[in-house]
Each structure stands twice: as C-alpha cells, then as structure tokens.
Structure 1
Amino acid sequence: MIKQIIELSVEHNNVACPMCQHDILDWQQEQYLQPCEHTAFIALDLGFEYIADFFEQHLPHTVDEIHDQELNIFEQINASQGINLTVFKQDLGAHNLCRYIGVIRPE
C-alpha cells in the first residue's frame, strides 16, 4: 500500500533512495536504472521496468497478468497488501505517461 507519493516535476533528475541515498535512477549511467535493496519496483504506465521478487508477491495480480490484461499499473501498485511504500511519481512529458519508483518503508 502506498503510504507517501512524492511527485517529481523534472523528468531527467536522478532519484535517490530515501533509505540509503543510492541513485535508483541515475542519468549519468548507461544503465540508468540502478535499483538498491530498498527498491520494490520501477514502472511506467506501460509496464514494469524492474520488480523485486519480494514485492511481486504483494500485488493482487502477477506481473504477467497485469501486462497481458493491460491493467492500470498505478492501481495495481496501490492495491498491494502487506508492504509500506514511498512512491516517486515522475511525469515523462509525453502522452500523459509517468514513471513510478517504489521504495519500501520501515514498519
């Protein structure tokens, strides 16, 4: 369940984990997605770019079901149970698409 949403206004800023300060999204790297141990997922409205094994079990549907049925990614993330998340929401500046980066929060 989402406990906090942090909206980011600029699409090309790095995103640091609030727990360990590691840049989860690092535009200086060729592989700009750099999840840390606290990263639950990185997703676009179109689908998941990265998902941790520990997080997938908290979703109401499997990732394959979400993609195959074209379910709303944000709704599926928000419906997750048994896990507290901080979610960074980043407008991509095209076609009303967003990127979501979920970080686990301590209980």
Structure 2
Amino acid sequence: MSIDAMTSAAKAAGSQTALAKKLGCTPQNVQWMCSTGSVPAKHVLRIEEVTGVSRHRLRPDLYPEALPTLKEMMPHISPADQSGNASVDPSSTAQASP
C-alpha cells in the first residue's frame, strides 16, 4: 500500500474531492486513503479505471504482479483494421466434389 500511489491517483482525478465523487465516497475517505496509503479493496479497480494508477501500485498485497490496466487490456480497433474482407479464405469453405 502506497501513499505515493494514492497521491498520484488524486492528482490524476483532479483533486481528492473529484476522486471521491468518482468513487461515490466522502472526500474525508479519500483524504484518509491518501494520508495512510491504505486503499480498501472495494475501491482499487475503480481508482485504476478513473485515474490509470495500476492496481498493483494501489494494493500490491492483492495484485502482486504489475498487470496491464483495464484500458491497456481493451483491444483498440482502428477503422483501417475494419476492411470488410472475409476472415476465412472462401476456398477453404468450398466442398470437395465427389
């Protein structure tokens, strides 16, 4: 548990009050998390989602490896990738003649 991680999360959210609003808790609760570095498990994934601070930095006891954040795990598909071409070669679906 890291005071630095929670301080970074509050800064990324804009302020402790802004983070509290996003978490649905009181600013005093966020202030306590920032001053102690103790983050309740129920808030870890939401903090990661809204601030980009990894769950590993927030709670290394629960998330021992630095896993990718939720945003990093989501596939990015650009319009160029959506060619409309079939993914299967038509010759592989043709039936062999007897």
TM-score, structure 1 length as denominator? 0.27
Higher helix share: 2
Find the structure with the greater CA-based Rg: 2
TM-score, structure 2 length as denominator? 0.29
Higher relative contact order (CA 8 A, sep 6+): 1
